């Protein structure tokens, strides 16, 4: 190891002996915490997946019907499919 | 560090069952360590306190996602690292220069007169002042390696980086610091501090 890195390590070792600050204000923090509730995102994931999937399937079916009935071109179908995908992602995320 | 895994798991279960007050024990057990960690991101004490609170609020909100596969302390340290990193990035994005006064106590002139050789607090201030000259990613890699004593694999895991990215960041950081540390006033200040 070169001289500079030795010096840097020595500085880091010295810095590690810096005294700690007083412990954080646990009471103040608890006042902030009360009223909050831990999120349980993962518990809802299967439900969100189901809702997202159902919404996507319905929207895709509707967009294909609409585009074949009123706008008979591929670009319109692709655009509708993109909107569908975006809606599904929105629900999922 | 003492093993508090079983106590942490018991408190987490209690909190998730609805007794929020058990979180205070978690704060008391890990507060000082997290505060020490947040001092690697800023030397401004009110900001350290605020960041420490943010870490615990974030941990509390995400407690349901803790799977207990790794020690709770590691999970908490990861939240702290990511929040500290975000703090650096937000300062940068908001157009504020990373002020050295927020990362180290002010020094006069070449710094030697106000720094006592061998003083740990002055050494920490000098070290952070030096690290603050690096880009955020390089600085992060150096902080994790030299101050949190993680190896490259642990840094990669903590940051969600590849091992190659960690190695590149460390290489660049060391090269840059070596260049800087060889010039005045850094050279003189380092020698003075370690004399």
Q: Residue ranges of the domains in chain B? A: 1-96, 100-195
Distances in Å between the alpha carbon of A31 and those of A39, B18, B79?
18, 16, 21
A6: closest CA of chain B, how far (Å): 11
A61: closest CA of chain B, how far (Å): 35
Selected residues 5-64 of chain A with any CB under 8 Å from a CB in chain B: 5, 7-12, 14-21, 23-30, 32-34, 36, 38-43
Question: What pLDDT score does B49 carry?
Answer: 95
Question: What pLDDT score does B3 carry?
Answer: 60
- B1-96 — its CATH code? 1.10.1740.10
* Interface mutation vs chain A, best among B46, B68, B146, B149, most A CBs within 10 Å: B146
Answer for the pair B88, B139: CB distance below 8 angstroms, yes or no. yes
Question: What pLDDT score does A52 carry?
Answer: 67
In chain B, residues with a C-beta closer than 8 Å to the C-beta of A3 are none
Q: What is the mean pLDDT of residues B131-147?
A: 94
In chain A, residues with a C-beta closer than 8 Å to the C-beta of B65 are 39, 41-42
Chain A: residue whose CA lies nearest to B25: A26
Residue linked to tokens 């919404």:
A55
Which of the listed CATH numbers 3.40.50.720, 1.20.120.160, 1.10.10.10, 1.20.140.10 matches domain B100-195? 1.10.10.10
Question: What pLDDT score does B101 carry?
Answer: 44
pLDDT above 90: residue B72: yes
In chain A, residues with a C-beta closer than 8 Å to the C-beta of B21 are 30
Dihedral angle computed from the Cα positions of residues B16, B17, B23 and B26, in that order, rounded to the nearest 10 degrees: -70
User: Taking CB atoms and an 8 Å limit, are B64 and A5 in contact across chains?
Assistant: no
pLDDT above 60: residue B113: no
> Predicted confidence band at B192 (pLDDT cuts at 50, 70, 90)?
confident
- Identify the DSSP state of B147: I
Determine the angle formed by the axes of helices B120-131 and B186-193, rounding to 10 degrees. Answer: 150
Answer for the pair B170, B162: CB distance below 8 angstroms, yes or no. no
d(CA A58, CA B48): 50
d(CA A76, CA A81): 9
Chain A: residue whose CA lies nearest to B16: A38
| Residue B19 neighbours by CB distance under 10 Å | 11
d(CA A64, CA A79): 10
- Identify the DSSP state of B111: S
- Identify the DSSP state of B143: I
Q: What is the ipTM of this complex?
A: 0.77
How many helices (H) and strands (E) in chain B?
A: 10, 0
- Identify the DSSP state of A73: S
Q: Does B194 touch chain A (CB under 8 A)?
A: yes
| Residue B56 neighbours by CB distance under 10 Å | 24
Tell me the pTM: 0.72
pLDDT tens digit sequence for B8-39 = 999 999 999 989 999 999 999 999 999 999 99
User: Taking CB atoms and an 8 Å limit, are A38 and B60 in contact across chains?
Assistant: yes
| Half-sphere exposure at residue B15, Cβ-oriented, CA atoms within 13 angstroms | 31
For residue B68, what are the β-bridge partners? none
Which position has the higher pLDDT, B114 or B49?
Answer: B49
pLDDT above 80: residue A67: no
Question: What pLDDT score does B118 carry?
Answer: 81
Distances in Å between the alpha carbon of A90 and those of A20, A83, B105, B157, B167?
45, 10, 46, 29, 37
Q: What is the mean pLDDT of residues A66-77?
A: 63
Selected residues 131-190 of chain B with any CB under 8 Å from a CB in chain A: 146-147, 174, 177-178, 181-182, 190
Q: What is the mean pLDDT of residues B150-171?
A: 96
Task: Locate the domains of chain A by residue range.
Answer: 3-92
Complete DSSP assignment for B11-38: HHHHHHTT-GGGHHHHHHHHHHHHHHHH
Q: What is the mean pLDDT of residues A25-39?
A: 86
Question: What pLDDT score does A91 carry?
Answer: 57
User: Taking CB atoms and an 8 Å limit, are A2 and B147 in contact across chains?
Assistant: no
Instruction: Extract the tokens encoding A11.
Output: 């500085």
Q: Does B67 touch chain A (CB under 8 A)?
A: no
Which position has the higher pLDDT, B152 or B103?
Answer: B152
Nearest to A4 by CA among B178, B175, B143: B178
């Amino acid at each position: 190891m070169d001289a500079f890195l030795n010096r840097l390590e020595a500085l880091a070792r010295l810095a590690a002996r810096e005294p700690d600050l007083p412990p954080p204000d646990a009471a103040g923090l608890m006042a902030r915490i009360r009223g909050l509730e831990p999120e349980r995102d993962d518990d809802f994931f299967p439900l969100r997946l189901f809702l997202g999937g159902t919404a996507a399937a319905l929207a895709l079916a509707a967009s294909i019907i609409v585009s074949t009935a009123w706008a008979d071109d591929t670009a319109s179908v692709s655009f509708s499919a993109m909107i569908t995908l975006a809606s599904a992602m929105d629900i999922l995320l | 560090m003492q093993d508090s895994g079983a106590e942490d798991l018991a408190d987490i279960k209690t909190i998730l069952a609805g007794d929020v007050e058990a979180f205070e024990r978690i704060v008391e057990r890990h507060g000082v360590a997290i505060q020490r960690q947040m001092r690697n991101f800023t030397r401004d004490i009110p900001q350290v306190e605020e960041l420490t609170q943010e870490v615990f609020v974030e941990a509390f909100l995400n407690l349901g996602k803790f799977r207990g596969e790794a020690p709770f302390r590691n999970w908490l340290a990861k939240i702290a690292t990511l929040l500290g990193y975000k703090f650096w990035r937000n300062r940068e994005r908001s157009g504020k220069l990373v002020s050295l006064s927020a990362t180290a106590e002010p020094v006069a002139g070449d710094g030697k007169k106000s720094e006592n050789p061998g003083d740990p607090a002055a050494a920490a201030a000098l070290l952070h002042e030096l690290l603050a000259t690096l880009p955020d990613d390089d600085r992060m890699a150096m902080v994790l390696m030299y101050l949190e004593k993680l190896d490259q694999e642990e840094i990669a895991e903590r940051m969600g980086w590849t091992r190659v990215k960690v190695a590149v960041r460390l290489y660049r950081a060391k090269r840059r610091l070596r260049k800087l540390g060889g010039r005045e006033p850094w050279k003189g200040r380092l020698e003075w501090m370690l004399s």
